[in-house]
Amino acid sequence: MPVAVGALGRIQTETPVLPEALRRVGEAILADPAGAARSTIIALAERSGSSPATVTRFCRVFGFAGYAGLRVALATETGRATQANWDANVGHEIGPTDPLDAAIGVMAAADSRLIQETAAQLDVATVARIADAIVAARRVLIFGVSISGGAAGMIGGRLRRIRVPCWSHADAHEALADAALLAEGDVAIGISHQGRTREVLESLAEAGDRGALTVAVTSFARSPLAELADLVLTTASRETTFRLGGLAAVHSQLFVLDAVYVAVAQRTYEQTNEAFERTIRALESHRVERS
């Protein structure tokens, strides 16, 4: 089994929803990732109040054959974080009287770390499969609700601008109606931070029933949305002060969707360049001349 990447980001995101015994293991790792990388399985079990068997089960939940694989991943990631100074300001809370420049520093550190973690866990082969399917599709549908709906609209607009026949929706009824019009060879992408939004689940299920390739973009690899989809792109997410849940995940959602967009643009290079030239000329009259 290949070593999973972006382990710390996934552990950070998914530990709160694990069963209690597994959650204690995750919390012990997150409290001291570098220490966990140096610990024996018995030491980690004692520190988390669990058993070696529970630690092994935790490792398998995150895609590792055993604790040795997880230790390698933790050692690699903590070393990389130290080298890049990722931990500066990460995890700090923003207080009501904090200087604005300090608050901005915390935001920048958190968002930079999330993008790095998302990139580390992004499966390039899955991105390539999705891009190939989009290029060949008669219709592409992207949908989410609330903040995830905004992400759907942004990537949908980019794809339409390079001549991809794409529909994007934040309205549940419109998404469900368009999902019913899909067919074999089409693509449906559902976006949900927790992967539990009923409207997104319903639309993706409808798309799958019609024969479309279904894709989930979610922070939780074992969520109902991920289980429903043919392919899954996971995003890193860590809540910070004033930015909770999906709001904390939006940058990583946009990052993975942008990776799909870039892969599609690479595959349609001539078409993309021609579309850019046309749209730039069409919009030129709406730009104010430089002084």
- The position carrying tokens 């078409």 is 271
Closest CA to 182 of 196, 167, 192, 161: 167
Mean pLDDT of the 99-109 span:
83
Q: Rounded CA gap, 218 and 193, in Å? A: 5
Task: Answer yes or no: is pLDDT of 160 > 80.
Answer: yes
* Residue 189 φ then ψ, to 5°: -120, 115
Closest CA to 240 of 101, 106, 99: 106
Query: Would you say the C-alpha torsion 168, 233, 148, 252 has a positive or negative sign?
Result: negative
Q: Out of 40-54, 103-117, 159-173, which region has the weakest mean confidence (pLDDT)?
A: 103-117
pLDDT band at 245 (very low <50, low <70, confident <90, very high): low
Q: What is the DSSP string of 110-151?
A: HHHHHHHHHHHH--HHHHHHHHHHHHH-S-EEEE-SHHHHHH
Q: Out of 54-68, 76-90, 133-147, 191-205, which region has the weakest mean confidence (pLDDT)?
A: 76-90
Domains of the chain: 7-121 (1.10.10.10), 124-278 (3.40.50.10490)
Q: Structure pTM?
A: 0.73
Mean pLDDT of the 180-206 span:
96
Task: Answer yes or no: is pLDDT of 174 > 80.
Answer: yes
Q: Rounded CA gap, 172 and 202, in Å? A: 9
CA distances from 48 to 73, 86, 238 (A): 19, 25, 22
Please report the pLDDT score of residue 244 as a whole number: 60
Q: What is the DSSP string of 158-195?
A: HHHHTT--EEEESSHHHHHHHHTT--TT-EEEEE-SSS
Burial class (CB in 10 A: 0-12, 13-18, 19+), 286: exposed
Q: Out of 97-106, 149-158, 276-285, which region has the weakest mean confidence (pLDDT)?
A: 97-106
Our CA angle for 62, 66, 71, nearest 5°, is 80
Closest CA to 200 of 209, 190, 215: 190
Which residues have CB under 8 Å from 19's CB, separation 6+?
none
Q: Out of 19-33, 41-55, 90-104, 185-199, which region has the weakest mean confidence (pLDDT)?
A: 90-104
Please report the pLDDT score of residue 241 as a whole number: 59
